[in-house]
């Protein structure tokens, strides 16, 4: 593995090139450093190298990890959130990328009202229509936006999607363009601003940036391959149903 500083230089130059190619500026795009399955030392290294947004996909894992990490970063939940974990999640995270149901929206707003939290939310949209992907179907997004706008104590900041893995990342372009167009329709229809588009991962972030991503979620390119689960994944009720990928070394610790 190359030193992180060198990797960052390469990522930075690809993001800058993608911005230049699409008439955007580097400042329009922020990187979410996705540290799932990695330990607190990786989070510390990321923060030392200037990352200010840490992305985790599981409440339980972040709950354990965050107290062992330096402060000074925003923690974003990039995986799906279940209703029964909203209270715990609001103690850890300020930003939620993958809101995928109206009951979860309502629960977040009601807990936020109680606790004084002011979370920023993005709705996950299943633009590709792949059955394995989470998120609202595009036709269900207007109702979700309407609901989000009616709730107090939360801010709907934008939308998130995951493209199917494509060996040729160019093929993901319609998915990212689709999310941007959906966002534009929601802004026009509701007369509101939804500035954030969370899209692009290791394989496809350059394309996502060209199509308007404001948050790219990068794990593997920064920190290497994630450890594969060596033991049966934890199947306790608390863990079931969360974003499937990314189990690994820490399952053992959490069991
Ligand atoms: C793991 C994960 C990422 C990062 O994926 P890489 O391909 O390792 O960059 C991004 N988004 C979500 C929702 C994830 O779960």
Domain residue ranges of the chain, discontinuous segments joined by + = 4-241
**pLDDT tens digits for range 77-117:** 999 999 999 999 999 999 999 999 999 999 999 999 999 99
Minimal CA–CA distance to 211: which of 183, 173, 160? 173
Q: How would you classify residue 206: left for phi > 0, otherwise alpha for psi between -120 and 50, otherwise beta?
A: alpha
Q: Which numbered atom of ligand 1 lies nearest the CA of 32?
A: 10
* CB-defined site of ligand 1, < 6 Å: 34, 36, 57, 78-79, 162, 201-203, 217-221, 243, 245-246
CA 235 – ligand 1 centroid, Å: 21
Q: Give the chain's residues under pLDDT 70.
A: 229-255
Q: What is the pLDDT of residue 228?
A: 72
What is the position in ligand 1's atom list of the atom closest to the CA of 97?
13
Q: In the prediction, which pLDDT does 229 show?
A: 56
CATH code for residues 4-241? 3.20.20.10
CA distance readout (Å), 194 to 24, 31, 108: 17, 18, 19
CA-proximal residue: ligand 1, atom 10 (nearest): 217
Substitution site in 160, 201, 218 for ligand 1 pocket (most atoms within 8 Å of beta carbon): 201
What local confidence, expressed as pLDDT, does residue 1 receive? 80
**Contact predicate 206/189, CB 8 Å:** no
- What pLDDT is recorded for position 137? 98
Which residues touch 146 (CB under 8 Å, ≥6 apart)? 190
pLDDT at site 236: 39
- What's the gap in Å between 108 CA and the centre of ligand 1? 23
Q: How far is the CA of 158 from the centre of ligand 1 (A)?
A: 18
């Amino acid at each position: 593995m190359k030193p992180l500083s060198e990797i960052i230089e390469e990522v930075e130059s690809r993001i800058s090139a993608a911005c230049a190619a699409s008439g955007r500026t580097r400042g329009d795009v922020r990187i979410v450093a996705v540290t799932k399955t990695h330990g607190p030392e990786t989070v510390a290294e990321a923060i030392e190298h200037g990352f200010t947004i840490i992305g985790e996909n599981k409440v339980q894992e972040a709950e354990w990890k965050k107290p062992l990490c330096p402060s000074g970063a925003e923690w974003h939940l990039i995986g799906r959130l279940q209703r029964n974990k909203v209270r715990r999640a609001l103690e850890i995270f300020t930003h939620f990328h993958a809101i995928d149901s109206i009951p979860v929206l309502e629960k977040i707003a009601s807990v936020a009202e109680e606790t004084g939290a002011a979370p920023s939310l993005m709705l996950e949209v299943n633009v590709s229509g792949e059955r394995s992907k989470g998120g609202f179907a595009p036709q269900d997004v207007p109702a979700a936006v309407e609901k989000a706008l009616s709730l107090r104590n939360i801010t709907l900041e934008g939308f998130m999607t995951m493209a199917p893995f494509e060996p040729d990342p160019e093929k993901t372009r319609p998915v990212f363009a689709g999310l941007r167009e959906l966002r534009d329709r929601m802004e026009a229809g509701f007369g509101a601003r939804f500035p954030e588009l969370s899209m692009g991962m290791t394989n496809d972030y350059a394309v996502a940036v060209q199509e308007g991503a404001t948050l790219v979620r990068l794990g593997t390119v920064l920190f290497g391959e994630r450890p594969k689960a060596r033991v049966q994944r934890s199947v306790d009720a608390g863990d079931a149903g969360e974003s499937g990928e990314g189990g690994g070394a820490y399952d053992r610790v959490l069991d």
